[in-house]
Amino acid sequence: MNLIDVLAGEIGPRLAGSEASARAANAVAYAFREVGLEPRFQEFPFLAYDPDEPQLEVNDEHWAAGPAMYSQPADVDGIVRRIGTHIVLPDVFEPPAFAIEDDGRELARLYGNPIGGGATPFPTGYGPTLTGPAAYISAADARRLPDGAQVRLRVGGRFSPTHERNVLAEHHGESEETVVVCAHYDCAWRAPGAVDNASGVEVLRRIVERLTTRQHRRTLLAIGFGAEEFGLAGARYFVADAKTRGELGRIAAVVNLECLAQGEQLELWVGPDQLKERGLRIARELGLGELPTRPPIAGSDHHPFAIEGIPAACLLRWPFPEYHLPADQPELADETLLAPATDLATRLVGELLA
């Protein structure tokens, strides 16, 4: 089984809260069974959002636009003005921000893709209760959008209270002390998500397959997280629930896997320093050179663990222009990039389990 083919090829776009997302959760559970683990589902309440395709006109010219997730519905006309840079993730995703105004009153916003790609769907960082009418435009269109242009924007979508699922599977060690290895299986609106993040789930499967052939001192907990693209909802629920049940203290470390089959460079988002040095040492021993690092910022499912003081690492390749777009197809996934990431992550998790 190759989960890139299954998730991105057979299932395709799997927006959180959709039937396709439920099929993806079942596929991850099946993969865990295939390597000898018994999976279970952790359901959590979730406010799904199914956006309409935004309609954008600039000076009577149609421009491509992607939905801002949880955007409130609106049909507005006004003058556009750049208002600054919206820092969703510092130094990683900082889109230029524009207001659509009428008589000085802000009606809606436009955000440019900051990584050089097309009109990507993406959250704004404000969440479902604070996101006003908004849409994303391509990096190229953001550069050519003039202050004072006449803009019409129509956006909408459906808010649906529902449930999502995390997929959990344990390989018991000699103690209850636990190392989590994880990846999210959902993807962005209309994107097949081969790289983001079927590639991370496939690496998760390979790690589990390699490390469950023998017993370790610590317990290995493999998790396929749901609803990552909506504010890390599945990981946030898991951490909050473990804290409520008094079980969070068992978790010694977490290694998260994200976008590993494309991207300009392999990075480690990691902390504290002891875990960072371990990861960098392993990378050097594998001949991968000196990897660039960042602190464990809020870009993926490691972050809810990190803010609770749990040592956390996210291994990813970043950026790539097909990010969140329909072009993120199975043929985009590069096995020559996937293999070294798998080796590094396996070594790191294995040392943490010892």
Residue 135 CA, distance from chain mean position: 19
pLDDT tens digits, one per residue of 201-251: 999 999 999 999 999 999 999 999 999 999 999 999 999 999 999 999 999
Please give the Cα distance from 183 to 258 (Å, whole number): 6
Overall pTM surpassing 0.95 (yes/no) = yes
Residue 248 DSSP class: G
Beta strands of 88-227 (E only): which ranges?
96-102, 105-112, 122-123, 134-137, 150-155, 157-171, 178-184, 219-225
Task: Quote the pLDDT of residue 139.
Answer: 96
**Domains of the chain as residue ranges with CATH:** 3-50+161-353 (3.40.630.10), 53-155 (3.50.30)
Pairing of strands 105-112, 157-171: unpaired
Pairing of strands 40-51, 157-171: antiparallel
The length of the chain, given as a count of residues: 354
Residue 93 DSSP class: B
Give the DSSP per-residue string, 263-279. Answer: SSEEEEEEESHHHHHHH
Residue range 330-346: average pLDDT?
97
In contact, 316 and 267? CB cutoff 8 Å: yes
In contact, 306 and 312? CB cutoff 8 Å: yes
Under the banding of pLDDT at 50, 70 and 90, the label for residue 91 is confident
Please give the Cα distance from 68 to 46 (Å, whole number): 18
